[in-house]
Amino acid sequence: MSDGATHETGPQGTTPHGGALEDLLVVDLSRALAGPHAGMMLGDLGARVIKVEAPGNGDETRLWGPPFAEGDDGERYSTYFLSCNRNKESIALDLKSDDGRAVLRDLLARADILIENFRTGVMDRLGFGTAALAELNPRLIQMSITGFGHDGPEGGRAGYDQIVQGEAGLMSLTGSGPEDPQRVGTPIADLLGGIHGVVGVLAALHERERTGRGRVVRASLLSSIVGVHAFQGTRYTVAGETPQPQGNHHPSIAPYGLFRCRDGAVQISVGNERLWQAFCAEFGLDPATPGLASNPERVAHRSETIAFVEGAFAAHDAEDLLARLSTAGIPSGKVRTLEEVYAWDQVRSQGLVVDVDHATLGTISLPGPPIRFFDVDGTGETERAREAHQAPPTLDQHGDAIREWLRGDA
């Protein structure tokens, strides 16, 4: 909890909404995706998140589209913005003005966490550098997300997701082959940057319980991609191999990937020799076929392995194959469209779709938070998560109420 007054009477309601972080106040100065995603995660965990936006257009993603949804006020609302700003309040502040900086200073004096993703040096020019903020609020945790890191020879370089996917090597691993580099279909560098920033913040909150002081937490899109190179990274750093894209097949396990059948394709993962034996038994194949008897052999003869599997699948439709693979205990699945994903009972059962009441759009459905919490009360598990989700705010929707709260809390 911050040194300042609690925020139980803030604009979103008279009581906290529940969740593990319900006693924390977050000031979110970020825009686009990495920082806003981090702020939304903290809001999903119960924190009160106040999003500070520039007057006029606000966060630039409010203009990113189509697609847009039209509100009952005749305005168009970007579905991109809606994806990463739930559970937040919005106040518009001109940070080049004395009034805007004064309101921000009042917010930061009360805050537990600051999120910003300005280019290096911008916060200093605004008068809110790390040392100044530590003096204003010694318990404040300052989280900064940059494109390529805050220092180093390219520390001030602007970083957008696809650029970093390329620069950090991810596109060199993704695609049908070496001449076909592809970006990942979601802005994964931005999303991982936000996620890693939140991990750092949660560690700093734990440390603050011992020290009573805040901490500067830095994450970057570059570090977030390099940090998840996983086995592809050690292929180079240890084995000296430079990985290349291999389409929909795993570079170190076979058969593992997307395989064609009579009416489409299915995915299978044969991750060990027991599964290989079970797979071959189900389809009447010889597991000791020359060149395919072990995983290293199958990886070395990938084309032959693919042909071997697809030959067995050629006379079967996908649904029949999935049933047989399931019976045999082979991990398998299909490639779903997002329409199919959001209609899937399993997705709904995990709380991965939430309905919220938007100020002008009415009730809208959003992809839900990925984390759930449970209390064990002796009779079973009872889910304990945020009690209610708030729709992404319209620009300055809570500005007057936040200013009133600050005056009353002075």
For 60-88, the pLDDT digits (tens) are 999 999 999 999 999 999 999 999 999 99
Give yes or no for a contact between 297 and 291, defined as CB atoms under 8 angstroms apart.
yes
CA–CA gap between residue 33 and residue 20 (Å, rounded): 23
Backbone angles phi, psi at 216, to 5 degrees: -90, 125
**CA–CA separation, 184 and 174 (whole Å):** 7
Q: Domain 25-228+385-408 belongs to what topology?
A: Rossmann fold (3.40.50)
Are domains 25-228+385-408 and 256-333 of this chain identical in fold?
no
Task: Identify the pLDDT of residue 14.
Answer: 39
Q: Name which of 280, 297, 141 is nearest 206 in CA terms.
A: 141
Q: Which amino acid is it at 259?
A: F
Closest by Cα among 251, 249, 320, 256 to 283: 320
Q: Per the residue annotation, which of 99, 190, 286, 357 is the catalytic one?
A: 190
Closest CA to 197 of 37, 27, 22, 367: 37
Written out in words, the top-level CATH class of the domain with range 256-333 is: alpha beta
Per-residue pLDDT reduced to its tens digit, 352-399: 999 999 999 999 999 999 998 888 776 666 676 687 899 999 999 999
- Listed by start position, the domains of the chain span 25-228+385-408, 256-333
Rounded to whole angstroms, the Cα distance separating 95 from 320 reads 61
Give CA–CA dist 5/214, Å, rounded.
17
State mean pLDDT over 176-192.
Answer: 94
Q: Does the active-site annotation cover 190?
A: yes
The answer to whether residue 7 scores a pLDDT higher than 70 is no
User: Angle at CA 103, nearest 5°, toward 395 and 410?
Assistant: 125
Q: Give the mean pLDDT of the chain.
A: 92
- For residue 59, give the amino acid letter: D
Contacts of 154 (CB under 8 A, 6+ apart): 148
- The whole-number average pLDDT for the span 252-281 is 96
